[in-house]
A and B are shown apart, each in its own frame.
Chain A
């Protein structure tokens, strides 16, 4: 067993006539429009490689048409990838037979959909129990389990209702419950909250963070909302025209955008909320006899440093556990903020 629970290696999805011929040929490097012009093919996902560790939240961020939804569907082969490997627990999904693939879909991975994907002809509890029903669980057990999960998402009393009687936010809680009921190791989220109002979206994001703490699932989360990505992701991948432009922690992406495209994206992000002391500090390993205002953990965000440097002329000592890693002073904080405005 590998240390990664999900691992995509050189995954491609090309639509069009004879898509296999594109991969490995010089055409593969062409921009989308030229590729379409020349070959009649569209590369929705091009050469994507990434690994996700158990318990990690991996967010794929991109605008519509960037291929992110296609990519997440390649993981369980809802869309058949044209090339590449998708390892789940070290097993290459792409080469699996129908039976074994179904097994993985039934037990290991479950998905939350953008427009909820509830089945209108089933009660809420039957919607949640759908996956269990497909597994072949008998009625009593699956209803009991579904009712339990509904409780955890705060919809305990809605089991007998039908989807169209629920608000959008509640419907997506049902979608979440349906995925949780499977007790999967991996959860895939395909822009689950993009159809919701901002306030409800924030609630749902908090819900995911709470669940993540409680149940410790591995999550692959697709979104077109950068703030959502920064909020939820342990790591973020920025996707453009089917390829990853950058992979990194939220802080790395904000502090060191890989190119213009990413820089453009993060322009409006309030950096003070994302950048941590570590990103702006002047590295130093030992005290030089200076006095410090106080010690701060290295992952304190700039926003929280502000009051400290405003109230005191003394620098702050940045600590990683017991070890000193650097110094932050008023100038460093101010510079970070100025960059923010530029």
Chain B
């Protein structure tokens, strides 16, 4: 080949003297060979490691818990006198309580009839009559299950925290959207808020605000704020520069640019933020029952604690009903395109929005009056309730008897061949080997020494905190869940990307899975697998599936059409197309899916502490309920460290993800209860979504 391009010989002779020698292109060693070498090294290291002193040595442990306990006693002694409490924490605590009580009060005084009709009317005006029916049915379900009061308590908590979340989140998002400095300042904060598992900040909040409404409210706020900020900022930054230039060239002031161009154009994204905030808030409000937040979470938690699975299921169904109503209505609302369709149609007649809103208000007020004056009944009438608890418990026994052979073998298999060997391996290796391994892996995927050192230090810190064994236990559960989850998700994602029909079939299931708060997943799995680590792992697998499936699908579908055409025109088989073109190009998206899967699995494995999965999650729950603040805080910090290490490493694996998700990204890790909207929408374009949403 080279001779073809060689200049005539005379010139060649002249140049040969001066020109530097041609670079030698070495053929790189086959990646498989390199991988085998790596595997060999790892196997050897493990073999040696297992002969060394296992675990983390006692003498290096620092009792940090004592410090926290000291702080706790200081708080107990001073929370009536210290200005920090008198003028800051206590007023916040009291204000939250007052606000929450007032909201609960209003909701209760509206009576069940007023709430159902009001919810339906609101949904109807915002999102159409189908959503009105959905809202009415959803709320009726909560009443029929006999959980009206708890449901209203949960609703009040969601309303207040979402209200605050948007009140703070949208202005912050606008700020971050318009100023790079603000964005730089807020991003690490939001990353932190989304990386730190909810269980970790419950304890410090309990310390500052005590058990009860304020802690529930503030933890929910922390949990639910990031999507509101991020999606507002994303929307504002997504406004094309030409639009801003047009505004400027016609002499808009900054305020005019904001109100006439940026906000209207960012509206779909902001509305999506509202939807996400609502769902996050609901997810957290349920978890907050651990710190005595009132509501449906409490019903589930009590059921779980008393091993009354039927009771837990009752609460679980009510939560799902509320989740579906809130999600579908707010999502439909966010998609609603008023400019295209300035009227809403009810039974073939068109009404303007103003008329519809007026009707909604009148109907709601009428329902409240009827409820108060005619029925004189605040909560759903008791003679109309049907509890599923007893039949569910009966079914549980039947299932236990019928399927126990299957479920037991799955259970035993998981424990014997996956959970125990992995746990024993992690506990059998010396701590420095695991910490070093984490660092080495971090370096390998990122080539950044700083990240490697950081990951090693964080892992070592877990040992110093005295939580080594528990953390390794949790890690083993997470890894098993993740491996299973990915092994299922990637093939499904590939199948979904290659068949529109399969994608359509899968969609409702994935939507449903992403609507439910993590907490709820625990209920059905203990039906099948009783208590212990296995139901925790299974719940994690199920919970973590949807984002990995969707991101694999998305990644493959995002491969440019021209690239696929080029491959096909050279005669690639479907299989070659998949392995040589689509999967490599989908890599960033798939790796983001892996990151999401891991973080979501971790969150559920920890929550599974509630159903006997032990390890760090149980430690936190136990300490919370027994007021062991110091130890609980240490466990919380350990969870955070674990989450950060895992997150940073997997993020480094999929570095390009920022490109995928635009300037702000969706942040550190989404502790999204669901990941549905943003990336999937990008793929199909807004129009498609309107059509199939």
Name A's B-contacting residues (CB within 8 A).
Answer: 73, 76, 78, 102-107, 110-111, 113, 115, 117, 119-123, 130-131, 133-135, 162, 178, 182
Contacts and interface: CB of A to CB of B under 8 A. Distances in A.
Contact residues of B: prevailing secondary structure: helix
B272 to A, nearest CB: 16
B249 A76 contact: yes
Interface core residue of B247, B251, B252, B265 (most chain A CB under 10 Å): B251
Contacts of B340: 162
B564 interface: no
Nearest to B266: A121
A119 B246 contact: yes
B250 interface: yes
Interface residues of B, number: 19
A78 B245 contact: yes
B251 A103 contact: yes
B251 A162 contact: no
Contacts of B260: 130, 133-134
A117 B242 contact: yes
Which of A113, A117, A133 is most buried by chain B, counting CB atoms within 10 A of its CB?
A117
A135 B251 contact: yes
B251 A78 contact: no
B339 interface: yes
B246 A117 contact: yes
B55 to A, nearest CB: 54
A61 B424 CA distance: 74
Contacts of B94: none
Interface string B238-277: 0000110111111111001000110011010000000000
Given A78-B245, A113-B245, A121-B265, 19 more contacts: A73-B245, A78-B248, A102-B251, A102-B253, A105-B250, A107-B251, A113-B242, A113-B246, A117-B245, A119-B261, A119-B264, A121-B339, A130-B260, A133-B260, A134-B250, A134-B252, A134-B260, A135-B251, A162-B339
A119 B249 CA distance: 14
In this complex, the member of B249, B252, B339, B340 whose beta carbon has the largest number of chain A beta carbons within 10 angstroms is B249
B265 A106 contact: no
B23 to A, nearest CB: 23
Nearest to A104: B251
Given A130-B260, A134-B260, A117 B243 contact: yes
Contacts of A110: 249-250
B205 to A, nearest CB: 41
Contacts of A78: 245, 248-249
B243 A119 contact: yes
Interface string B159-192: 0000000000000000000000000000000000
Contact of B265 (A76, A111, A120, A123): A120
Given A121-B265, A134-B260, A115 B250 contact: no
A78 B251 CA distance: 10
Contacts of A182: 250
B261 A105 contact: no
Contact of A121 (B245, B253, B264): B264
A106 B261 CA distance: 17
Contacts of A73: 245
Interface in B225-249: 242-243, 245-249
A73 B260 CA distance: 22
A134 B245 contact: no
Contacts of B264: 119, 121-122
Contact of B249 (A111, A135, A162): A111
B242 A131 contact: no
Nearest to B268: A121
A182 B339 CA distance: 25
B688 to A, nearest CB: 15
A106 B251 CA distance: 5
Nearest to A184: B250
9 contacts: A73-B245, A103-B251, A106-B251, A110-B250, A117-B242, A119-B243, A119-B265, A134-B247, A134-B250
B416 to A, nearest CB: 59
Nearest to B252: A134
B238 to A, nearest CB: 12
Contacts of B245: 73, 78, 113, 117
Contacts of B253: 102, 134
Contacts of A133: 260
A43 B305 CA distance: 71
Contacts of A115: 242
A276 B265 CA distance: 51
Nearest to A105: B251
Contacts of A134: 247, 250-253, 256, 260
A222 B522 CA distance: 65
A161 to B, nearest CB: 11
5 tightest A-B CB contacts, nearest first? A106-B251, A105-B251, A131-B250, A117-B246, A117-B242
A133 B339 CA distance: 19
Interface string B78-90: 0000000000000
A232 B250 CA distance: 24
A76 B245 CA distance: 11
Nearest to B687: A164
A101 to B, nearest CB: 8
A178 B260 CA distance: 16
Interface string B259-299: 01100110100000000000000000000000000000000
Contacts of A131: 250-251
Interface in B200-218: none
Nearest to B243: A119
A38 to B, nearest CB: 25
A110 B248 CA distance: 10
A103 B251 CA distance: 7
B260 to A, nearest CB: 7
Contacts of B251: 102-107, 131, 134-135
A232 B260 CA distance: 34
A249 B600 CA distance: 68
A34 to B, nearest CB: 23
A119 B246 CA distance: 9
Nearest to B257: A134
A73 B242 CA distance: 12
A78 B252 CA distance: 12
A60 B256 CA distance: 32
A115 B265 CA distance: 17
B265 to A, nearest CB: 6
A171 B672 CA distance: 40
